[in-house]
Amino acid sequence: MFTPDNYKLIYRIDTVKKTFRQYLLISADRRGFLPELIRTEKNNGFNSITGAENLLRIRNANNWTKCNLTGLRPTETRNFYYSDLPVNGVKSLIVVFIPDDWDSVVLRVCKQFYPHTPADRQRIINEIIRTF
C-alpha cells in the first residue's frame, strides 16, 4: 500500500494565554515549508470549520488573524488528530500528536499530498500513526 513521504516537525510550548497556546519549532526533518510559530485554539465557532473542537493556526502572515487556520479532527487513536493544510499553496495532509498536557505538538506533514477518498485518507492516517 502507498504511504506518502511525510516530514516530522516538533513544536514546544512558548506562550499560554486564555484563548490560545503558542508553540515554537524546535526540530524538523525538513525546515522551510512550515513557519517557526504555530498556535492551538479552541474552536469558538466563528469560522466555517466543522468536526473539530480544536484549531491549528500557522504563522504565515504578519497578523495572526490573517494566518492559515485549520481544524484538528480527532482520529480513532487517542491524542492524534488530522487535518488539511495548504503547504506552498497545495492542500496537504497532516497528522498531529498532542499529549495530554499540551506542552508540545508533533506534526507529520504529507507535503502537497491529500488523499482523494475518505477510505484512502483513513488508511494513510492509520499507517502514519502506526509508524509515528
Give the residue among 48, 3, 40 at the shortest CA–CA distance from 22: 40
Query: By the 8 A CB rule, do 13 and 39 touch?
Result: no
Number of domains present in the structure of the chain: 1
Q: What is the pLDDT of residue 92?
A: 95
* Percent of the chain at pLDDT exceeding 90: 80
Locate cell 484538528: which residue?
72
* Percent of the chain at pLDDT exceeding 70: 99
Classify residue 78: in a domain, yes or no. yes
Domain, as residue range, for 19: 7-130
Give the residue among 61, 48, 106, 117 at the shortest CA–CA distance from 82: 106
Write phi, then psi, for 109 (nearest 5 degrees). Answer: -110, 120
Q: What is the pLDDT of residues 7-39, one digit of tens each?
A: 999 999 999 999 999 999 999 998 777 899 999
Classify residue 30: in a domain, yes or no. yes
Query: Can you tell me the distance from the alpha carbon of 50 to that of 59, in angstroms, rounded to the nearest whole number?
Result: 21
DSSP bridge partners of 71: 55
Classify residue 47: in a domain, yes or no. yes
Give the residue among 25, 3, 31 at the shortest CA–CA distance from 12: 25
Classify residue 2: in a domain, yes or no. no
Q: What is the pLDDT of residue 90?
A: 87
Classify residue 14: in a domain, yes or no. yes
The residue-averaged pLDDT of 33-55 equals 93
The residue-averaged pLDDT of 97-116 equals 95
Q: Residue 1: is its pLDDT beyond 80? A: no
Give the residue among 124, 120, 60 at the shortest CA–CA distance from 89: 60
Q: What is the pLDDT of residue 83?
A: 96
Query: By the 8 A CB rule, do 11 and 22 touch?
Result: no
Classify residue 101: in a domain, yes or no. yes
Classify residue 108: in a domain, yes or no. yes
Q: Residue 86: is its pLDDT beyond 70? A: yes
Classify residue 49: in a domain, yes or no. yes
